[in-house]
Structure 1
Amino acid sequence: MAHLLKEQQHLVNFWDELSNDEKSQLENQIKKVDFTQARKWFEDSAHLQTSSPENLTPIPKERIFSTDKLSKTEMHEYWEAGLDAISRGEVAALVLAGGQASRLGSAEPKGTIPLGLNVSFGDSLLGIQAAKIALLQAAAGERNHENNGKIHWLVMTSPGTEKATHSHVQKLAKHHGFNFEDQVTIFSQDEIPAYDENGDFLLATKHSLVASPNGNGGVYSALAPFLPKLKAKGIKYFHVYCVDNILCKVADPHFIGFAALNNADVATKCVAKQKGELVGSVCLDSGKPRVVEYSELGAELADQKTADGSYLFGAGSIANHFFSMEFMERICSSGSISLPYHRAHKKIAYIDPKSGEQIKPTQPNGYKLELFIFDVFEYARNFFIWQVERSEEFSPLKNAESAGKDCLSTCKNDLAALNSKWLQHAGATIEENGKHFYLNTLISYDGENLQELRGKSINQDLIDSDKIIAKHFVHNTDSIYD
């Protein structure tokens, strides 16, 4: 342990108490840390420059495309272009799945926990996403018999979620007939040790450091080794999304087709911000696109409205992005671009380096550093916003039920509401108010394929008695008021 910096010697205070296996674990973890670099990250993050309000301007209108303002002809053109790309095997769906469901009361990866919905095989967020990929592939294959539609599924995990996620995704792939070795790539982002408020590392146990994934911006360095293989497979477009959004349109043909036809190298999905909402705003900072937090925007700009009553800085980021292969190659190239680490002040349990007792603080006592995926926006050469309806595309699972927001019950409600909207557009009516009627994910991606339900009055008896109707639905009718 001679290479330890003087201020980090506390990490080996209990060395003589450790077993050989524990000594090996601690030594291997410490050897992976560049202490000089880690100290620089900590110091740099303390002086990270934020945006000045006077430098911030909205994204120009000609760079914003709202799905509710586009014609059916335009949307059809984008859909066809997206499916064409899928049929040629040019699309990769990259899910950011490194987080655990600790806030949900589970030790499992968030993407694998049971939802109690059964709208897809696996009954999980990843299960829903796998079904959507399978549905799109079938649609692309049907329209182009020369090419079987294929989406390459990239799954970014973290050291703490990799094993369980790998096992779960492998089962999903087998069920849907994906060639796991050829079509699915599972890789892990790096972890970074946590710091106390003086910049020293913390012990999680006597033989391990407190460490956590290095943020969603860690995707670029983690993906870099796989880019040559993906390019050789013909991948041209990446759809990057977070695992926790139950309404996410994975490998969205509208989004992919729009970006491809407009030669975008970067595009991001947004929703119209609501009053008091703390999601970041996509805007220009000194003429370059980036996402700014409410604190950087300031109350005056955050509340400023346009003539139509919408917020001037109202493009709310939902962590859902398009990147071209050319852009990914440029960003992921070793040493080409260095993203800054951002600080998150957290309550971090740790081992007291003197007593060896575990301390569980009641107030924030340290920092975790994170890279942000959107910090690359400023390097885009042709950037667009694709603005979508919140009710159709954004319902994240982040909190326990006690929060009453962004939790499992709100996700269920939002999914049921979207399915209800699709049914009504298809010409069906829902007879039993207050019931959840969930559609089988493999039936419809965006409200299509529901023509057999036209003119039907949907109720539980009909679903139970009519096989043609029943195939569309999941037999789960929780009350919307539960």
Structure 2
Amino acid sequence: MATPEIIEAFQRAGQGHVFAFYNELAPAERERLLADAAEIDLAEIARLHKTLVADGASAALNLEGLAPAPYEPLPENGGDTDAWAAAKTAGEEALRAGRVAAFVVAGGQGTRLGYNGPKGSFPVTPLKNKTLFQVFAEKIRAAGLRYGKPIHWFIMTSHANHTATEAFFKQHDYFGLAPARVHLFRQGRMPAISPDGKILLETKSAIAMSPDGHGGSLRALQRSGALDIMQREGIDILSYFQVDNPLIRIIDPAFIGWHLARRSEMSSKMIPKAYAEEKVGHFCTQNDRTVVIEYSDLPMEMQRETDPATGKLRYIAGSIAIHVLDTQFIRRMAGGAAGGHEVALPFHRADKKIPTIDADGNPVKPDKPNGIKFEMFVFDAVPHAKNAVIIETRRADDFSPVKNAEGLDSPKTCRDDQLRQFARWLKQVGAPVETDATGLPGITVEVSPLFGYDEETFAQSWDRFPSKPAITDGLYLE
């Protein structure tokens, strides 16, 4: 829309106050305000205010008919060995055919880690201090080499870190990946509103905008043209993961194979919860659909329920934000009602303290929540997927996120988990490594994903050594 049309549209929607200070702004400030406004779907904001605020959206979640979701257990936990082998073979065929791409949600900053920069540029490995982005890039490179088909990598940034992320990849020559196969695009944003539905201004020239949640990644894939690139390249399977988990097997042929075998539109990995109070989502079934219930929404008495026969937790399947999605399913979910589709991801409200300005343009720093932010969660797509499948994975092979500066899920716990993995691989090939009762070695070693990104590829690389290297502190294998 042209400038007058945008302003008129806001006035018609009862949001004309957004431009209250427009005439006193400098040209660059006007451009910024108009750019913010152009991102906003005013009809969507009106609908969200009505359904999530005015009509009262704080009603308790409906848990009627909820039950633990079934999943495919690993062979060592009773799973079908032949089915797992067949899944791996099918996944490898899809990889050799170039049908698979990787997709990371990387809009976060390293603020909680005390780090100033995109979270993906945070160093995490125990010896070389490789960044999250480098670890992922090397895993993607290694898989491409293994299956004879370079893998495209889609990276969703945010408005806050896009420029810095782009510069980081250029500075490091895309970590050996072809720049044409690395696709960066920005996450969508949503404006914050007041309880009476008015869009909040952060300053006279800026709307209070915030990212639309990891569920917004589906819309962003559509709006950025990423799905069109995939269609052009013959890619119909997307491996989804989040930026804070360096242990993940980004390209997992067995996972891809289960997805294909079940004709699933969206598949998920689970880990058995370590204890009832562990803060992960729960895979459940409700009304014949697979759903994910957040730990904050599932009553603690249900989280603590055990199976009388096994003594294990009933709601044991923990969600770790690792998915495989069909690209056509993404397109359908991204279109939503506006695209003529019957379903769209729901928004969730979050009441927040939002710095804003008053009617005279003076800054206001609230001491209690004064506004509402809206975000979407990617796991809300699961109930809409045909034949949703959940497979079990090993925590030690797939999940050790870096979220907090200290304590649980910190750089130290992640570093130790990487060391345990490297030590386990070395032991499996007969290398002498001393570890404590938890599997943590007394020395610092590191394995590049280009040497081995799982126990199988590690063993194959190790076998190629004519003379085995000494297992000493500082050993690096690439």
TM-score (norm 1): 0.84
The equivalent of 1:476 in structure 2 is: none
State how 1:317-332 maps to structure 2 within 5 Å.
Answer: 317-332=319-334
CA displacement at 1:104 relative to structure 2: 2.3
- 1:65 matched to 2:73? The reply is yes
Unaligned runs of 5+ in 1: 142-148, 464-469, 474-482
CA displacement at 1:174 relative to structure 2: 4.3
Contact 2:65 2:287 in 1 (8 A): yes
The equivalent of 2:182 in structure 1 is: 184
After TM superposition, the structure 1 stretch with the greater mean CA deviation from structure 2, 205-214 or 223-232, is 223-232
Q: Given the superposition, is the C-alpha separation of residues 408 and 363 from structure 1 closer, same or farther in structure 2, using an over 3 Å criterion?
A: farther
The equivalent of 2:3 in structure 1 is: none
CA displacement at 1:355 relative to structure 2: 5.7
CA-to-aligned-CA distance 1:276-329 (integer Å, 9 cap, x gap): 122211111222111112343322322111121222111111111111234234
Q: Secondary structure at the match of 2:263?
A: coil
State how 1:329-408 maps to structure 2 within 5 Å.
Answer: 329-333=331-335, 334-336=339-341, 337-354=343-360, 356-359=362-365, 361-401=366-406, 404-408=407-411
The equivalent of 1:429 in structure 2 is: 432
Which residue identity is paired with 2:285?
L
Which residue identity is paired with 2:352?
K
The equivalent of 2:419 in structure 1 is: 416
CA displacement at 1:155 relative to structure 2: 1.2
CA displacement at 1:446 relative to structure 2: 0.6
Instruction: Name the Cα RMSD after superposition.
Output: 2.8
The equivalent of 1:458 in structure 2 is: 471
The equivalent of 1:210 in structure 2 is: 208
The equivalent of 1:278 in structure 2 is: 279
Q: Distance in 1 between matches of 2:165 and 2:204?
A: 28
Q: Secondary structure at the match of 1:232?
A: helix
The equivalent of 1:54 in structure 2 is: 64
The equivalent of 1:38 in structure 2 is: 45
- 1:199 matched to 2:205? The reply is no
Contact 2:352 2:369 in 1 (8 A): yes
Q: Distance in 2 between matches of 1:175 and 1:246?
A: 15
Which residue identity is paired with 2:63?
P
CA displacement at 1:445 relative to structure 2: 0.8
TM-score (norm 2): 0.85
CA displacement at 1:38 relative to structure 2: 0.9
Q: Secondary structure at the match of 2:143?
A: helix
Q: Distance in 2 between matches of 1:420 and 1:101?
A: 29
CA-to-aligned-CA distance 1:414-434 (integer Å, 9 cap, x gap): 212222222222222324854
Which residue identity is paired with 2:37?
I
Q: Percent identity?
A: 31
Contact 2:126 2:444 in 1 (8 A): no
Q: Given the superposition, is the C-alpha separation of residues 41 and 172 from structure 1 closer, same or farther in structure 2, using an over 3 Å criterion?
A: farther
The equivalent of 1:308 in structure 2 is: 310
CA displacement at 1:13 relative to structure 2: 4.6
Q: Given the superposition, is the C-alpha separation of residues 398 and 352 from structure 1 closer, same or farther in structure 2, using an over 3 Å criterion?
A: farther
Contact 1:218 1:373 in 2 (8 A): yes
The equivalent of 1:26 in structure 2 is: 33
1:86 aligns with one of 95, 118, 131: 95
Contact 2:134 2:175 in 1 (8 A): no
Q: Given the superposition, is the C-alpha separation of residues 263 and 126 from structure 1 closer, same or farther in structure 2, using an over 3 Å criterion?
A: same
Q: Given the superposition, is the C-alpha separation of residues 202 and 226 from structure 1 closer, same or farther in structure 2, using an over 3 Å criterion?
A: same
After TM superposition, the structure 1 stretch with the greater mean CA deviation from structure 2, 100-109 or 420-429, is 100-109
Q: Distance in 2 between matches of 1:116 and 1:313?
A: 33
Q: Secondary structure at the match of 1:429?
A: coil
Q: Distance in 1 between matches of 2:418 and 2:359?
A: 48
Contact 1:11 1:353 in 2 (8 A): no
CA-to-aligned-CA distance 1:433-453 (integer Å, 9 cap, x gap): 543322222211112334358
Q: Distance in 2 between matches of 1:335 and 1:50?
A: 30
CA-to-aligned-CA distance 1:145-200 (integer Å, 9 cap, x gap): xxxx2212111122222222223334556442x3322x222222211112234433
